[in-house]
Structure 1
């Protein structure tokens, strides 16, 4: 059956958000949507709504050819393969090649802000994928450079609330982060927008925050003070290794602080409003909504 839109990574948090907004915010008919995942068995509720559910694995060319065969627009949600350097770029290039072969008319991709010359260790995956899309024969494409999600802050909030200390190598660098569900709505809007263009959108929140700003807001919501402790990047790496993370993974996470310190996530744009017609959710309001979860993290 011919379908207008295919969403890869459909069983993940972002994929589910995109699908929700396609169906319920943008009003797309379920039969016009393909939800594609390595774990199609997890998408039974979408199938029950009339969404086409297909298996797709970016390490399996045959699965991509089958999944993409009759889709007009394909969203590639960047994979979570961070433990094998360069593997994610191989996967994305394979997906782009499959989209070309299948005759996809419009390709969309979830990237990151300012991937070129970034100190973030997985930025080359995004830079290389963007380059492959721009060089492809797909008639139209949209690159969505997503800033960090509000939800990512919870990874730091837990240890910080437990110990009372947030160890940071970001200095006074700021993050213009945005709610994951807002990203999902913006991507859905980009999917249903008129085709034919070749555009880059950078999706950010309305304000930017340093780690000290975030810590103060979390402290107020949780009722426990967090002190930000400045450390060198190597100290951050060794602290994560001591907590049980493999060193290569710790270095990837520590490079996020380096990027923040260099200003790589601080730029604020109006692209979210351009796509959705509304302002993004404010970080302060989101933190307040997370107060029960934050309080549960206190040791």
Structure 2
């Protein structure tokens, strides 16, 4: 049995749907069963309730599991949550965990830099020391990060992408591509003790990003480069909690420090996944880019 944690989140949901599309039976761990209604009718998807921070709730979820894709929110005690889950999985006899990790901007791990990178690295080390078989799947920034309602997304009211990262070139990857690789890792062996980095096929400036969104939507969008303090003030005024504002501050500082992302397509090639271009992603999500109703949300 395969288990996916964080199944109702953005990444987890896409992985569950990809497994169903490929007819790969999967168990989806959820904290809120109401949020799992979107999985109703998907073939081979077994929804089970549990909390990664409460091992006593995981007995049913972990029973008979051979491989786990471990995902949890980066804003909800991620290190504690995933370390606790790793220990519970080991105690339950789960042999292999695939960690859905991360690489800021596609430039690699630097323990002294971005907080998200540091936390992922801490969890990776805990998993590697656990005695379990492990695999790390490390996507860079997601293309979905530019959708309205995300930390770094478009403002559909102003028709602007308002950021503070200078002339950085980033190589975002489509979550759909990552999901295809994740399902391949979960449904086959031979990938233990390996780390797989993933980026998109192009390193784009923010000007190029908005040009492609404009072409896809038929609506003119613009990139506005803000001073960092102005961007942080906007985040606070939009109701963003302080921990998330701290992440944004470090995120933008890291992207200014490392402005050039490196395109890494080895993982796409290894698993036979055709890389989605940003233009393709923008066309497929044109309606979402124009949806002013989601602005201000936190995915």
Q: Which TM class, normalised by the smaller chain length? A: 0.7 to 0.9
SS of structure 1 residue aligned to 2:58: helix
Structure with the bigger percentage of helix? 1
- Give me the TM-score of the superposition, normalised by structure 2: 0.84
Other-structure match for 1:98:
88
Residue of structure 2 in register with 1:239 after alignment: 234
Out of 215, 225, 234, the residue aligned to residue 230 of structure 1 is 225
Q: Show the counterpart of 1:131.
A: 125
2:211 to 187, 207, 216: 216
Q: Tell me, yes or no, if structure 1 residue 150 matches structure 2 residue 131.
A: no
What's the offset of the Cα at 1:81? Answer: 5.2
The aligned residue for residue 176 of structure 1 is 171
Superposed CA deviations along residues 165-210 of structure 1, whole A, max 9, x for unmatched, are 4332211212211111111111101111214620101121111112
1:12: how far off?
2.5
Task: Measure how far apart 1:257 and its partner are.
Answer: 2.3
1:200 matched to 2:195: yes
Tell me the CA shift for residue 73 of structure 1: 0.6
Structure 2 counterpart of 1:67, from 53, 61, 69: 61
Whole-Å separation in 2 of the counterparts to 1:185 and 1:201: 13
Shift of 1:100: 1.2
Q: Distance in 2 between matches of 1:245 and 1:262?
A: 24
1:274 to 265, 269, 282: 269
Aligned partners of 1:174 and 1:193: how far apart in 2?
34
- The alpha-carbon distance between structure 1 residues 275 and 12, as it changes in their structure 2 partners (threshold 3 A), is farther
Alpha-carbon distance in structure 1 between the residues aligned to 2:160 and 2:44 = 48
Root-mean-square deviation (CA, aligned residues, Å) is 2.7
CA distance 1:102–1:242, shift in 2 (3 Å):
same
User: What CA distance in whole angstroms lies between the structure 2 residues aligned with 1:250 and 1:237?
Assistant: 7
Q: Do the aligned partners of residues 48 and 154 (structure 1) sit closer, same or farther apart at CA in structure 2, a change above 3 Å counting?
A: closer
Aligned pair partner of 1:122 in 102, 116, 119: 116
Structure 2 residue 52 is the aligned partner of structure 1 residue 58: yes
Residues 55 and 250 from structure 1, CA distance in 2 versus in 1: closer, same or farther, beyond 3 angstroms? same
| Unaligned residue ranges in structure 2 (runs of 5+) | 294-299
Secondary structure of the structure 2 residue equivalent to 1:145: strand
Which one of the candidate residues 19, 29, 37 is aligned to 2:30? Answer: 37
Deviation at 1:94, TM superposition (A): 0.4
Name which of 16, 38, 41 aligns with 2:13: 16
Distance (Å, rounded) in 1 between the aligned partners of 2:145 and 2:112: 19
Please list the CA deviations of residues 35-83 of structure 1 after superposition, one character each: whole Å capped at 9, or x if unmatched.
2111245446558745433222012111234421321111111x22516
Determine if the alignment matches structure 1 residue 263 to structure 2 residue 253: no
SS in 2 for 1:240: helix
Residue 59 of structure 1 aligns to a residue in which SS? coil
Q: Which aligned runs of 4 or more in structure 1 are off by greater than 6 angstroms? A: none
Distance 2:184 2:209 in 1: 29
Deviating more after overlay: 286-295 vs 204-213: 286-295
1:252 pairs with one of 247, 252, 264: 247
Looking at structure 2, the residues matched to 250 and 175 of structure 1 have their Cα atoms a distance apart, in angstroms, of 21
The TM-score normalised by the length of structure 1 is 0.84
